[in-house]
């Protein structure tokens, strides 16, 4: 399946290391340079805002999806190409997923992890066949990747399901992996 839009899950804060913001800018620039649209939570703050700004600065499409309650707190990015306002977080995630052809998790907190695990689970269950990846900036996800590999070793999920989550240390390399279409089949192996 060709990719035209990538959903990027990431922190609504910039994080402790400047490399996280640098990676967000690189991701946004890479998406725009490849003609890929961005889908995200529509925030103007943190890595989310940095990624959106880089896409827009590169002349790309940036689509945000945000619940009204967050718009009311004035955290919505008003310069997005399109900013969809929904009522609930469930509606937000469903619309983000339907608008996207691939998913990337960059450094972020519990919300980023929750979004990542949900779309990865959907992939494993065969609800979608869209690629899912981690941008592992400065080893941010090293411990998580070790945990996931350990869960496979301990028999809690199949290696084929683990392989449905790819990772790379640069936006360009991750986007190349996602575009390759080399995603293992879903199902109960």
Domain ranges of the chain: 5-179
Chain segment 125-152, per-residue pLDDT in tens: 999 999 999 999 999 999 999 999 999 9
Pick the CATH number of 5-179 from 3.30.750.24, 3.40.50.280, 3.40.50.300, 3.40.50.450: 3.40.50.450
Report d(CA 125, CA 145) in Å as an integer. Answer: 20
Chain segment 71-120, per-residue pLDDT in tens: 888 788 889 999 999 999 999 999 999 999 999 999 999 999 999 999 99
Q: What is the pLDDT of residue 181?
A: 74
Beta strand extents in 93-185 (DSSP E only): 102-105, 132-135, 165-168
Chain segment 1-40, per-residue pLDDT in tens: 789 999 999 999 999 999 999 999 999 999 999 999 999 9
Rounded to an integer, the average pLDDT of 157-182 is 92
Q: What is the pLDDT of residue 72?
A: 81
Q: What backbone torsions phi and psi does residue 10 show, to the nearest 5 degrees? A: -165, 175
Q: What is the pLDDT of residue 73?
A: 81
Name the least confident of 22-36, 48-62, 90-104, 175-189.
175-189
> Tokens 């998790």 map to which residue?
105
**CA-closest candidate to residue 93, choices 59, 124, 61, 128:** 128
Report d(CA 63, CA 161) in Å as an integer. Answer: 29
Q: What is the pLDDT of residue 189?
A: 44
Structure tokens at 51: 């990624």
Q: What is the pLDDT of residue 75?
A: 82
Sorted by sequence, the CB contacts under 8 Å of residue 45 that are 6+ apart come out as 12, 13, 75
Q: What is the pLDDT of residue 151?
A: 95
pLDDT at 44 over 70: yes
């Amino acid at each position: 399946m060709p990719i035209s839009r990538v959903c990027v899950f990431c922190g609504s804060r910039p994080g402790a290391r400047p490399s996280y913001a640098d990676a967000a800018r690189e991701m946004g620039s890479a998406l725009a340079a490849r003609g890929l649209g961005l889908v995200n939570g529509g925030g103007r703050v943190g890595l989310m805002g940095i990624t959106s700004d880089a896409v827009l600065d590169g002349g790309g499409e940036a689509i945000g999806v945000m619940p009204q309650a967050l718009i009311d707190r004035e955290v919505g990015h008003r310069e997005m190409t399109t900013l969809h306002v929904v009522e609930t977080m469930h509606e937000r995630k469903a619309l983000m997923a339907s608008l996207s052809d691939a998913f990337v998790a960059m450094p972020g907190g519990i919300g980023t992890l929750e979004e990542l695990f949900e779309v990865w689970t959907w992939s494993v269950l065969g609800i979608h066949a869209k690629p899912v990846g981690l941008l592992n900036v400065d080893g941010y996800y090293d411990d998580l990747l070790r945990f996931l590999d350990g869960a496979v070793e301990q028999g809690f999920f199949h290696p084929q399901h683990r392989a449905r989550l790819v990772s790379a240390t640069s936006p360009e390399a991750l986007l190349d992996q996602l575009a390759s279409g080399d995603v293992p089949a879903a199902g109960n192996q």
